Amino acid sequence: MVKSKTSAIKKRSDCPISCTLDLVGDKWSLLIIRDMMMFGKTTYNEFLASNEKIATNILNDRLISLTDKGLITYTGSARRKKYQLTAFGMELKPIIEAIANFGMKNFTKSKAYTQKQMKAAGK
């Protein structure tokens, strides 16, 4: 598991928002955290199967990066990792929920989509 290319973001200010965005200011990181938080996904293949079709190199890079930042951790063997959010990562929940609420309110197709996905996840 080599170093992520994007994990060493140069800090640009002490603003709380800016510091948080240094951690999760890209859509792929947030989508992975969504998958873990809302759909209980834990494995590489599960993340890969999401509808957004993340590229394998981006997925791998982000899993490494999020692990380095302490937002997620994993168990299992080196090539069969099961990822999960750390307590630190769980603190991102209000952000994910706020993003979800905005989407539910403003994108009509998103409501049907969410019901379908929740059913599929059995949760």
Partner DNA sequence: ATTACAAACTTGCATTTTGCAAGTTAATTG
Partner DNA sequence: CAATTAACTTGCAAAATGCAAGTTTGTAAT
Question: Tokens representing 68?
Answer: 């380095």
Residues binding a second copy (CB under 8 A): 12-22, 25-27, 30-31, 34, 38, 50-53, 88, 91-92, 94-107, 109-114, 117
> Which of 110, 95, 94, 36 has the alpha carbon at shortest distance from 66?
36
- Select the binding partner of residue 113 from a second copy, DNA, none (C-beta < 5 to 8 A, by kind): a second copy
Sequence-distant (6+) residues with CB within 8 A of 95 are 20, 24, 30
* Contact (CB, 8 A) for 41 and 88: no
Quick one: which of 54, 66, 72, 92 contacts DNA (CB under 7 A)? 54
Using the CB atoms, write b or e for 89-115: b if 16+ within 10 Å: beebeeebeeeeeeeeeeeeeeeeeee
Binding track over 13-52 against DNA, x by CB under 7 A: -------------x-x--------------xxx-------
* Contact (CB, 8 A) for 60 and 72: no
Name which of 10 and 79 has its Cβ closer to a second copy: 10
Applying CB under 7 A, does 53 fall inside the site for DNA? yes
- Select the binding partner of residue 102 from DNA, a second copy, none (C-beta < 5 to 8 A, by kind): a second copy
Task: List residues binding DNA (CB under 7 A).
Answer: 1-2, 5-6, 26, 28, 43-45, 53-58, 60-61, 63, 77-81
